Structure 1
């Protein structure tokens, strides 16, 4: 893990049409004339790029008279409405009451669309002089529509104090749904531990770009981060340190549930990972019996990989795996449980195959779908298993072919090529944080690839989605997370959400540049890549 361009002209035309369609400013709700200002952001100038845009008509202005209208019989829609109000109130200074009273004005959130093309996560946003209406088939779609509405408003809307406005949304209709069902980011909390609040902050940032999965790397050589009642020393002792010898830490079950609930409120599913049979020194140090020689090694605070292994021939190993998976599965409402499987260099191939067979069976026993790093395909993935590919340009042909063969037999793939989506790779030789074993990964390289055609021989429908992992050997706090994640994360999010025809670097970098003031308003410590025309803020 550590180791088509015609759309640019079409999209540019859409932006010109959008700008022309909003040149005239209509009256705000209630008849008050909005203040003179720059025209609102064109409907298509968001990240991820929307599927379809039809610009035109008068813009809508959020004013002190605006109400957020929600479905009367849906508590979930009301919750989304309250979430939107909480976002907009600090910067606008408006009351923005959330009401189930019907009306043709205001910001309207509506479930029940009959358009099957929207699916579970799509939405339609219609803006005119009198209202903005977001409709969807499911609550996740409404929530994603709200994220689009945020981006269509001026960046100052993200600030936590009253700003001048005006708060206009361009006129027209935007229809949107995701390309892939699985759009993920991973946070490594094992090499350095991150608090519940730091994880929540990252969740909020993921939600803005329509990421719907948070993969938590909960165990590794340097730390075990989740309390397991049946094996208490895993967290108490195995979680007591981190890279460099810091204090480490772990999540209690209550902490973990808090993260899960917060993620669910942002329509993210959490995928927990217990990496095994390698990357297990924290567990081996905590319980001597998990070692083949019965001797516990010392805790580890370095960054090497591949030296640790659970003892595959021992029966107690599978008691351990069963207990950990049972407790974690009981806590986790999501569909998936990640069992790692990478860089098991200290495990013989025979032992690895035997171990993965038993571990996968245990995951299935507790009602979860197996996810493993792509080395899982060197064993025998069970039916329905998902392999996460993290190879890169220097990955050998035989290894790539092994993954392609598994995909042809039905194994779904999540793509995380290390020299494209690993957010901990340095941008260039001057980057202070991060690693460079997969090479330097600037913003364009991170964005400029197609998941459907990336791996030769893999059927396009085998690709479940994409993920942007963030390993934490060199990262210790939210500011450092953000420096490496932004601005690359929004690009990976776009690859997962937007139609392939929209993927064009020349148009994307302009839309990304427009995100700069929003990053600043949100207090995101982003890297000002010289590849992006940021402009002055």
Structure 2
């Protein structure tokens, strides 16, 4: 284990706030100032390349134009050297004292990362392009560093929304500063084909464009063909792709293209319908498409010839070891009825369409292997049997990755709950439109990509980790930046820094300078981490609730009110948990130097008769959204519209059936249960909620039934089922049943599939 020195020898104020955190970093005395007289020493070709990168960076961001020389001197010099070593390819050492800055590594990758750490040690103003005169002073430090994982990736979906080459280059620059080294480029999906294939020109003439309904929400867009003068889309020429690949290589980033198959290819069939099962020309979808039944025909030899032609041009453009073929969410219903696919199943002696998918993927893999390339795909490629040499990108949780690693296949961990940057970062009502789940920065940071289920040998098959930004709801580069930062900083530390060297509070402290860098660089980053969050705890002994106020980025002081007014510096300053013994609304804000650094957030604690009750589940909730010992259903805290916020209890295809023991006989005048409606995530309201009461938990009487009178919408909302009693009743036990509709309704894309029922607080007054 590499130690992190806590002591500090510096005589001046040190700055070692590097992200991602190095494996070993020791502050030293003294400081070095980069000035116009400073030279850069480099001799080997790798060192000269790194020196040129540093030279151009300093020239573009400062008024310095340093000379690159091949002779050493004893002071006022940045020395970049290659060293003989059998250590990891990306390792480096950085040493700074009063006279010299020394960066050494066995390969260019390490030298480049040494330069990035040097950049991180400079004042945050270095990120701007204003050419302002400044003192570029670096505190003395010693760093010995190497990454934890070899795959440190970021995926950008350019199919759902198209981003210009200029933004792709910015994205690569920002990745490289955080020592991320794989750019997974999602170039093909149902809503657009984004890569030029010269042998098939209609892919860019037709499949790259869709009718322009960008003014409508993603889920409300019609399925129509593009119209003259009203189209949306674009594609990357082969020359542009070659330029981007070279640009990435200079920053030690490998570009891994994703060429989707066998599904997520509807756009393709707008140009070449003959490669589908039905052979019918389709429109390029303008928005949401589910279920995805359009699929390559696995029975036609022409299909595989087309795929091989496409992949041949892809391999000429991308020198990466891995080619990503997607493989996810393949609805195989068309294969079940396609005579060509059924003939293939019979000829190959396959058992079913699941085995046909394995045949499809394996055949593509053999083609790639012939050219010394390797196939990687989403974890659905495990279905029907994994191709012999394939690598797995595990997104539906960790289980696919665990299974593949136990089979000794390479794995990249990218589970939705930690790695999907299209999720909300904070309270839905304070954030721009995103996918329905919630992924704050601290949840990104807590991720450990190596599951406990793997032994030491199996763990070696975890190549690394990756963040993914799907862009159904991300139409602009500004929004893409917002969804990426600051979460990419947390992911970079997950990917680079050894688990034992990571610490959330230390990371929070180092992020203060990171946020300043975003401001200087003009990055439109999310401020969600500054908002005040609320955590409610129950004191069993005192029978009271306490509210803890906290922030993912505490840079100032928290002020709060309990009377519904807007908080300011004249309000209560938070110092310890707030005790609440009645229904109370808390509003809070974070203020620094007299100015708000967050939006106002609020929560209401609902204290009611059932707050002290013991709740029993007569039907067991899903293990994906379970209840807790102190039940979420009567813990006085309401969930948000984000169903993954830890306050909702979920039931898949089953009713909610619970009993609450109030502990003593109470007089009751009203009952209420709150439920969630989020059709995009297959969450529907109960058909009805029935309330019963009893004195002995044996003989129950009906208090009433509340039926669903809600009209369908597309946006998530809460919905209460209140029952106001005509006259009060006395009871010790309350029995509540919420009737699940059972299956997604006919109008829904998941028609016939089990529906979800979510409940939060049951309030008894």
Which category describes the TM-score, using the shorter chain as reference length? 0.7 to 0.9
1:309 equivalent among 267, 282, 295:
295
Q: CA deviation at 1:48?
A: 0.4
* Structure 2 CA distance for aligned equivalents of residues 501 and 407 of structure 1: 22
* Structure 1 CA distance for aligned equivalents of residues 414 and 72 of structure 2: 45
The question of 1:344 aligning with 2:330 is answered yes
Matched length = 498
Provide the residue aligned with 2:369 in structure 1: 364
Cα pair 2:189 2:266 within 8 Å, conserved: yes
Higher percent of residues as helix = 1
* Structure 2 CA distance for aligned equivalents of residues 219 and 286 of structure 1: 14
Provide the residue aligned with 1:68 in structure 2: 40
Distance 1:109 1:310, change over 3 A: farther
Provide the residue aligned with 1:287 in structure 2: 272
Moved over 4 A (4+): 454-458, 534-537
* Structure 2 CA distance for aligned equivalents of residues 499 and 243 of structure 1: 46
Q: CA deviation at 1:311?
A: 1.1
Distance 1:139 1:414, change over 3 A: same
* Structure 2 CA distance for aligned equivalents of residues 230 and 99 of structure 1: 48
| Matched residue SS, 1:521 | helix
| Matched residue SS, 1:23 | coil
Provide the residue aligned with 1:421 in structure 2: 419
* Structure 1 CA distance for aligned equivalents of residues 79 and 327 of structure 2: 43
* Structure 1 CA distance for aligned equivalents of residues 455 and 50 of structure 2: 42
1:419-440 C-alpha deviation (Å, 9 max, x unpaired): 1111111113135445334x20
Higher mean alpha-carbon deviation, 91-100 vs 419-428, is at: 91-100
The question of 1:233 aligning with 2:202 is answered yes
Q: CA deviation at 1:209?
A: 0.3
2:169 equivalent among 192, 195, 200:
200
* Structure 2 CA distance for aligned equivalents of residues 342 and 122 of structure 1: 35
* Structure 1 CA distance for aligned equivalents of residues 191 and 381 of structure 2: 22
1:116 equivalent among 86, 111, 120:
86
* Structure 1 CA distance for aligned equivalents of residues 30 and 118 of structure 2: 16
1:268-417 matches, cutoff 5 A: 268-305=253-290, 306-346=292-332, 348-392=353-397, 400=399, 403-417=401-415
1:268-320 C-alpha deviation (Å, 9 max, x unpaired): 01100001111010112211201212211111111234332111111111111
The question of 1:223 aligning with 2:192 is answered yes
Provide the residue aligned with 2:31 in structure 1: 59
Provide the residue aligned with 1:532 in structure 2: 553
* Structure 2 CA distance for aligned equivalents of residues 269 and 101 of structure 1: 33
1:207-230 C-alpha deviation (Å, 9 max, x unpaired): 000011101011000000111122
Cα pair 1:88 1:158 within 8 Å, conserved: no
* Structure 2 CA distance for aligned equivalents of residues 508 and 166 of structure 1: 26
Which consecutive unaligned segments of at least 5 residues does structure 2 have? 215-230, 334-352, 531-551, 557-591, 598-765
The question of 1:99 aligning with 2:69 is answered yes
Q: CA deviation at 1:527?
A: 0.9
Provide the residue aligned with 1:474 in structure 2: 473
* Structure 2 CA distance for aligned equivalents of residues 255 and 95 of structure 1: 29
* Structure 1 CA distance for aligned equivalents of residues 555 and 257 of structure 2: 36
* Structure 2 CA distance for aligned equivalents of residues 318 and 96 of structure 1: 54
* Structure 1 CA distance for aligned equivalents of residues 51 and 18 of structure 2: 21
Provide the residue aligned with 1:496 in structure 2: 495
Cα pair 2:11 2:29 within 8 Å, conserved: no
* Structure 2 CA distance for aligned equivalents of residues 142 and 243 of structure 1: 46
Cα pair 2:41 2:71 within 8 Å, conserved: yes
| Matched residue SS, 2:243 | helix
| Matched residue SS, 1:322 | helix
Higher mean alpha-carbon deviation, 162-171 vs 512-521, is at: 162-171
**TM-score (normalizing by structure 2):** 0.62
* Structure 2 CA distance for aligned equivalents of residues 405 and 90 of structure 1: 48
**TM-score (normalizing by structure 1):** 0.88
1:460-518 C-alpha deviation (Å, 9 max, x unpaired): 21210001111111112321111000000111111111111122211111112220111
| Matched residue SS, 1:193 | coil
